[in-house]
């Protein structure tokens, strides 16, 4: 029988086994091809990157990608070779020369490679189109889809050459393995790890302690300025924490977990049960023989989760902050006569008048006296104290009336906030905060005396709010006073500013209108637009996120597939064990339970560790590196929660598939 037809026969016989291999290799090719197509897609790159930033990022990622593809393909090759070794040994015993066995192996790999390449190229092309479509919609780009080919032939050639190159190198390494291994070792190539082992108490404890210290150090950031993060510095402390946690994780998995499992055997009541007596020793054995893989997976999944959570947070945060930075769809300061009517005329060209609201807010600035005035009162009055403006501002509260506040909020469709308001008394005010006080204090209850021409009005702060109705570009230190007090202030104070806020569905997300408005107002820095701001953020950061997204997907595929192969290989290696258990009287139900538990443990170690690391890293990132414009609302963590939930569901799918493949492997025996 010639080797090609033998290889085909083999493939057919073990279809499900090879289907998996093909599927996993084609998955990697899909990602690789989609990425290569993307980085060669000039139509797209021109749109999202003006300065070559995306191109250089693509280069960096492609290094990662190539490393990953090589690693992944050699891992799965080794895995499949391991599974085939005994069979190959038997061929050798039967008198096949090693050369012909090698050519069998290579033919198999070529067939698999061709299948995987075809599948990978097609699904990669589809994925690439999907990415282009997604980006176009997300960024509102105008792109002629017809100009982007389904198959970019240079990318196809690149992928084919690269994959064939990898396959060639793998064939060489298989050949080396085959010729170096003796006949007997081939046949006896089974689990050979030491069964009896030492348990190192000290490194187990050390692992535990390092992790706790690492997490403690991360939590230290909550002490604010007193913490090491500020006194020693953010980056050295961050590096220290990361090193402690990585070292701790290594020891925890390699020493602490087997040690703890060994100790748990002492608890006879739980250990001498039909499930535990099998799963606990199996766990100890597997974690000892797979510690390296497991540590790598854990670190990989911690990195993946952290990157995706931080990424989600740092994309979401500025967008969520737009509600504060530009609360109205369009907002500007009247600097010249006639600007309001000009603006109205302009807007009417884009939207029917009845779908748009115009609110003019007159702001009066008054000085005040009090024991202690809030930071907002004097912000921007000396150089460098305001965040990004170098325009001097005179100290004072910028007063608007309660009814103006309510109608602005309504126009901005923030009715949930309006619903929670209650009418202000004449001796009360609401203070708009720029950001929450770092020490967690609050001005509520403070009394500020507003100085007006004929005396002073003492006002008690009824509440502070982060829901500013006017952008910071146009008003800081905004104070909302009752309508009566407002009238009183108005009669004797010079008008500070008149702000026009334009809202309405008819003008939403209209870049053209914004441009025209900007022209009309001579590029005034006081023009702010909600949608405009969102679009700006999206187009500035989306390409970064797209590319990091690629990496994250890659990491997911890597972790999931390695977990998958590792479990399948462990379970099929001990197939005989399950047969014995079945003969002893373990029902299929009990065997399934044992399998599920064994697999679940292996999936949960990287996931849970990754999750905890991600939570701590996100906390540190949020507390230490992000501006606190929004306060600590749960909504802020939504993207993180979604990222974690997505990860969890990907893990779950992999777990589910793994469990079912294992059921099939064991119970069909």
Partner 1 sequence: MPTLLEAKEVTKVYRKSGHPSLNKVSFRVAEGEFIGIMGASGSGKTTLLNVLSTIDTPTSGNIWINNVNLKSLNHTSAADFRRDNLGFIFQEYFLLDSLTIRENIAVPLTLQKLPPKKIENMVRSLAERFGIASQLNKYPGELSGGQRQRASAARAIVKKPSILFADEPTGALDSSSATELLNTLYEANKELQTTILMVTHDAYAASFTKRILIFKDGCIIKEIMNQGNNRRDFYESIAAEITKLDSAR
Would you tell me which residues interact with partner 1 (CB under 8 A)?
Answer: 191, 194-196, 268-269, 271-274, 276-278, 281-282, 284-286, 574, 576-577, 580-590
- Least distance to partner 1, CB of residue 69, Å: 34
Cα dihedral angle (115, 169, 33, 543), rounded to 10 degrees?
Answer: 150
Specify whether the CB–CB gap between 510 and 365 falls below 8 A: no
Specify whether the CB–CB gap between 497 and 475 falls below 8 A: yes
Q: Strand, coil or helix: what is 359?
A: strand
Q: Which is nearer to partner 1, 273 or 491 (CB)?
A: 273
Distance from C-alpha of 667 to C-alpha of 656, rounded to nearest angstrom: 16
- Measuring CA to CA, which residue among 159, 121, 198 is closest to residue 36? 159
Strands 357-369 and 330-333: unpaired
Q: For the chain, give percent helix, strand, coil, nearest 5.
A: 70, 10, 25
Q: Which is nearer to partner 1, 512 or 589 (CB)?
A: 589
Length of the chain: 669
Q: Which helix (H) or strand (E) holds 398?
A: strand 397-401
- Least distance to partner 1, CB of residue 80, Å: 23
Q: Which is nearer to partner 1, 562 or 594 (CB)?
A: 594
Q: Which is nearer to partner 1, 451 or 582 (CB)?
A: 582
Q: Which is nearer to partner 1, 383 or 583 (CB)?
A: 583
- Least distance to partner 1, CB of residue 590, Å: 8
- Least distance to partner 1, CB of residue 13, Å: 19
- Least distance to partner 1, CB of residue 196, Å: 5
- Least distance to partner 1, CB of residue 274, Å: 5
Token pair recorded at residue 63: 């290094």
Token pair recorded at residue 440: 């967690």
- Least distance to partner 1, CB of residue 648, Å: 30
- Least distance to partner 1, CB of residue 584, Å: 6
Q: Which is nearer to partner 1, 128 or 286 (CB)?
A: 286
Strands 330-333 and 528-529: antiparallel
Distance from C-alpha of 293 to C-alpha of 604, rounded to nearest angstrom: 14
Specify whether the CB–CB gap between 434 and 377 falls below 8 A: no
Q: Which is nearer to partner 1, 180 or 589 (CB)?
A: 589
Q: Which helix (H) or strand (E) holds 361?
A: strand 357-369
Q: What is the DSSP letter of 509?
A: T
Q: Which is nearer to partner 1, 277 or 653 (CB)?
A: 277
Specify whether the CB–CB gap between 48 and 146 falls below 8 A: no
β-bridge partners, 362: 498
């Amino acid at each position: 029988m010639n080797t090609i037809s033998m290889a085909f026969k083999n493939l057919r016989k073990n279809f499900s086994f090879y289907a998996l291999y093909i599927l996993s290799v084609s998955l990697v090719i899909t990602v690789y091809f989609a990425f290569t197509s993307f980085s060669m897609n000039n139509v797209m790159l021109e749109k999202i990157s003006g300065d070559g930033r995306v191109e250089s990022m693509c280069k960096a990622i492609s290094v990662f990608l190539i490393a990953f593809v090589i690693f992944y393909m050699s891992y799965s090759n080794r895995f499949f070779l391991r599974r085939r070794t005994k069979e190959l040994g038997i061929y050798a015993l039967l008198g096949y020369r090693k050369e012909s066995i090698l050519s069998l192996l290579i033919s198999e790999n070529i067939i698999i490679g061709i299948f995987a390449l075809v599948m990978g190229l097609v699904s990669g092309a589809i994925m690439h189109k999907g990415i282009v479509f997604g980006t176009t919609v997300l960024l509102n780009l105008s792109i002629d889809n017809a100009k982007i080919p389904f198959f970019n032939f240079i990318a196809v050639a690149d992928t084919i050459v690269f994959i064939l190159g990898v396959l060639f190198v793998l064939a060489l390494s298989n050949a080396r393995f085959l010729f170096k291994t003796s006949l007997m070792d081939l046949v006896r190539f089974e689990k050979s790890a030491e069964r009896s082992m030492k348990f190192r108490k000290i490194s187990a404890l050390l692992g535990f302690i390092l992790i706790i210290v690492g997490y403690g150090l991360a939590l230290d950031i909550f002490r604010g300025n007193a913490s090491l993060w500020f006194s020693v510095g953010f980056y050295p402390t961050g590096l220290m924490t990361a090193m402690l946690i990585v070292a701790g994780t290594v020891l925890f998995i390699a020493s602490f977990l087997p040690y703890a499992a060994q100790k748990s055997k002492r608890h006879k009541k739980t250990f001498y049960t039909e499930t535990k007596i099998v799963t606990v020793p199996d766990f100890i054995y597997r974690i000892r023989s797979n510690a390296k893989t497991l540590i790598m997976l854990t670190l990989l999944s911690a990195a993946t989760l952290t990157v995706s959570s931080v990424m989600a947070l740092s994309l979401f945060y500025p967008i969520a902050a737009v509600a504060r930075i530009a609360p109205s769809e369009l907002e500007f300061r009247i600097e010249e006569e006639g600007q309001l009517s000009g603006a109205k005329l302009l807007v009417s060209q884009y939207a029917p008048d009845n779908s748009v609201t115009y609110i003019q807010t007159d702001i009066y600035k008054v000085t005040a006296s009090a024991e202690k005035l809030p930071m907002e009162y004097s912000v921007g009055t000396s150089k460098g104290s305001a965040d990004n403006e170098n325009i001097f501002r005179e100290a004072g509260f910028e007063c608007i009336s309660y009814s103006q506040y309510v109608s602005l909020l309504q126009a901005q469709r923030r009715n949930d906030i309006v619903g929670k308001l209650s009418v202000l008394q004449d001796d009360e005010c609401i203070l708009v905060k720029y950001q929450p006080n770092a020490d967690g204090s609050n001005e509520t209850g403070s009394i500020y005396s507003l100085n007006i021409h004929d005396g002073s009005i003492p006002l008690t702060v009824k509440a502070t709010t982060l829901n500013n109705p006017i952008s910071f570009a146009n008003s800081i230190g905004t104070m909302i006073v009752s309508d009566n007090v407002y009238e009183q202030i108005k009669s004797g104070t010079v008008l500070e500013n008149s702000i026009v806020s334009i809202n309405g569905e008819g003008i939403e997300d209209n870049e053209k209108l914004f441009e025209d408005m900007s022209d009309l107002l001579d590029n005034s820095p006081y023009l702010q637009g909600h949608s405009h701001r969102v679009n700006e953020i999206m187009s500035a950061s989306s390409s970064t996120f797209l590319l990091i997204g690629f990496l994250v997907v890659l990491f997911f595929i890597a972790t999931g597939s390695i977990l998958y192969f590792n479990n399948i290989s462990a379970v099929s290696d001990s197939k005989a064990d399950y047969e014995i258990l079945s003969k002893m009287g373990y029902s299929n139900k009990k065997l399934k339970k044992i399998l599920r538990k064994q697999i679940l443990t292996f999936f949960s170690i990287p996931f849970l560790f990754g999750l905890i690391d991600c939570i701590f890293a996100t906390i540190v990132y949020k507390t230490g590196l992000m501006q606190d414009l929004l306060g600590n609302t749960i909504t802020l963590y939504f993207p993180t929660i979604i990222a974690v939930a997505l990860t969890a569901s990907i893990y779950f799918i992999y777990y589910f598939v793994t469990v079912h493949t294992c059921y099939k492997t064991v119970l069909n025996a």
